[in-house]
Amino acid sequence: MTKKEKVQFIIETLEKLYPEVPIPLDHKDPYTLLIAVLMSAQSTDVGVNKITPILFAKADNPYDMVKLSVEEIREIIKPVGLSPMKSKGIFGLSKILIEKHHGKVPRNFEDLEALPAVGHKTASVVMSQAFGIPAFPVDTHIHRLMYRWGLTNGKNVVQTEKDAKRLFPKELWNKLHLQIIFYGREYSPARNWDIEKDIIFKAIGRKSLIK
């Protein structure tokens, strides 16, 4: 396969397997998505989806969130882990949204990444899934699969994101990054990986590293 053929094979295979891809984190607007993504760091989407309804019942907007104390937020979100950092981040970013952005989540990377506890990946998820602006958030699944497929050198997520954006058409990014996550969970997990079930790896393999 040529480089172009490999990329096309991945796109076509993922489209057949996942013609529709729901956003894994439950939310109703950009703010609740931002909070859910922040909470998902080193946690599972399933775990976050169990806790966000409890948090959002008390505060589903920045104005209500700052009425809670950091300690109150921490008690609610404790089951998802890293609660000291996450609770401070949730309170801090809510305060900044009120003070600098009229209570609205900004639609650009610079302002999003300036918020407490919001890194590039979190900002990318919000940009793509809340606002429909092309982005390619790289999580552990995408980082692992891009390396397994020989599409990146695996050095770091920054390089993986650059390679993904270079190889895949921009108009597909928002859907494709979710398709890769679903594929990674189902066919190409980090543990108990059955290569025989990994359709894409069997077709293009690690040995075909694209430089």
Q: What is the torsional sign of CA 95, 96, 97, 100?
A: positive
Nearest-angstrom CA–CA distance, 41 and 39: 6
How many Cα atoms within 13 Å fall on the side-chain side of residue 18?
19
> Has 26 been annotated as catalytic?
no
Q: Among the residues of 18-106, which ranges form H helices?
A: 30-39, 45-58, 62-65, 70-77, 83-101
- Rounded Cα distance, 104 and 114, in Å: 14
Which of 26, 45, 111, 139 is flagged as catalytic? 139
The DSSP H or E segment spanning 66 is none
Which of 185, 190, 192 has the alpha carbon at shortest distance from 46? Answer: 185
Q: How far is CA 7 from the centre of its chain?
A: 21
Whether 121 is catalytic:
yes
Distance CA 155, CA 31 (A): 32
- Pick the catalytic residue: 6, 60, 86, 121? 121
For residues 66 and 90, what is the distance between their CA atoms, to the nearest angstrom?
A: 9
Active site (catalytic) residues: 121, 139
